[in-house]
Chain A
Amino acid sequence: MIDQETQLKLQAYLDGESTSREAGEIVRLLDSDAEAQVLFNELRATKSLLAGNEPERKLAEPREFYWSRIRREIERAERSADLLSAPATTTWWLRVFAPASLLAVLGVFVAVSLRSPENSVPMLAFGEGHEIDTPLEEISSFTFRSERAGMTVVWVDSHRN
């Protein structure tokens, strides 16, 4: 029986993938070995039967239906690509101004919260009849204590007139 290496060399010769030295060996083998000839013929016949005879398949889906999904995917991918490419061109200012804006908002909030009542105009005007009940006449305070964090925070708000 022909060994595996020779079988593969026969095939490589058939496919035109042999080196010139291997091709010479195979030609000599085919001249002298009937078993090699039979195997070679089988491989060649199979190759020739397959050539140009790939099974044909027809899509059952109508053209429009098949295309619509492709188009949707293309458009979706293009939208995603637009979003991904946006940072390089349009959002540099967001990176600069977003933190600054956040800090400014926090600053205003803190300033308003701590502003003394003598020189301020309240941000929120309470309607008549509303009162803020505080333990002290002039001051409202809230205390937050966390045993776990070992922390106590006292928030002091000025009393509105």
Chain B
Amino acid sequence: MSQKPDYASAENEALVKAAQKGDMEAFEELVARHRDKIYGRAFSMMRNEEEAIDLSQEAWVKAWQRLGQFQGEASFVTWMTRIVINLCLDQLRKQKRMRAESIEKLDEEVGGVERQMPVVVPNPTERLERSELRARIDKALAQLSVEHRTALVMHEFEELEYKEIAKRMGCSIGTVMSRLFYARRKMAVILAGLKREELQ
């Protein structure tokens, strides 16, 4: 009689291989291990709890369906975050169409407030608890526009190159660079603890 695998102590790679053979319990263990990370990435993109939960669950369903395509070039978590990022981008595109906003109308392309902002340097040596720093970053991210936040999340957290971000966002590399630049400048102001009102 074969013994039931010990999923809880198995390595990710072993769980992935088992799941690729159709072992749903192995896949459930992968979901349990990484669900917070995938949900967190979806939340960073969407800034909406319900949407983030829905999209993260959809990502897991897609992952199960495409497990055969996972070859292990990147880690399983990286592969998963790419799936959820793509789903978030699709959702953001749908929302954008609903809002009927034009990319060309954004401030970033014509030079917005951020161009005139004085330079501020957030002090990396400032002794902030990591949780406090993350809370501050979270708060700052919430204040960015969807386009700026998306570019920032994909570059800083997902560590994608300009070219890859442009491909996924369906825009030019120049637009990505511009969005990233203004996103960073806004983040610098917020993270330095300055109030935007003081700058205007």
The number of chain A residues with a CB under 8 A from chain B is 36
B interface size (C-beta, 8 A): 51
- Minimal beta-carbon separation of B144 from chain A (angstroms): 12
CB-CB under 8 A from B135, the residues of chain A are 55
Residue A69 is within 8 A (CB to CB) of chain B in the complex: yes
Residues 40-62 of chain A, each 1 if its beta carbon lies under 8 Å from chain B, else 0: 01110111111101111111010
A15 CB contact (under 8 Å) in B32, B60, B152, B162: B162
By the criterion CB–CB under 8 Å, are A17 and B161 in contact?
Answer: yes
Q: Pick from A11, A38, A54, A63 the residue with the most CB of B within 10 Å.
A: A54
Say whether A100 faces chain B, with CB atoms less than 8 Å apart: no
Given A8-B178, A77-B61, A53 and B134 contact (CB-CB distance below 8 Å): yes
Q: Is the C-beta of A7 less than 8 angstroms from some C-beta in chain B?
A: yes
Whether B35 contacts A15 by the Cβ 8 Å rule is: no
Contacts of A23 in B (CB 8 A): none
CA distance A46 to B123 in the complex (A): 9
Contacts of A74 in B (CB 8 A): 24, 61, 64-65
- A42-B185, A71-B24 in contact; A56/B36 too (CB < 8 A)? yes
B169: CB under 8 A from chain A? no
Q: Least Cβ distance of B31 to chain A in Å? A: 6
B44 and A45 contact, CB distance less than 8 A: no
A54, B40: Cβ atoms closer than 8 Å: yes
Judge whether B36 and A57 touch: CB under 8 Å. Answer: yes
B5 within 8 A of A: no
* Selected interface stretch from B72-80, B87-95, B113-121: B113-121
Given contacts A46-B185, A70-B60, 20 further A-B contacts (CB under 8 A): A11-B180, A17-B162, A39-B119, A42-B119, A42-B120, A45-B121, A45-B124, A49-B124, A49-B137, A54-B137, A54-B153, A55-B43, A55-B135, A57-B40, A57-B43, A59-B39, A61-B53, A63-B32, A70-B61, A77-B65
A-B contact pairs, 16 of them (CB 8 A): A8-B181, A15-B162, A17-B161, A41-B119, A42-B119, A42-B184, A45-B122, A47-B156, A55-B43, A55-B134, A55-B138, A59-B36, A59-B39, A59-B53, A67-B31, A69-B57
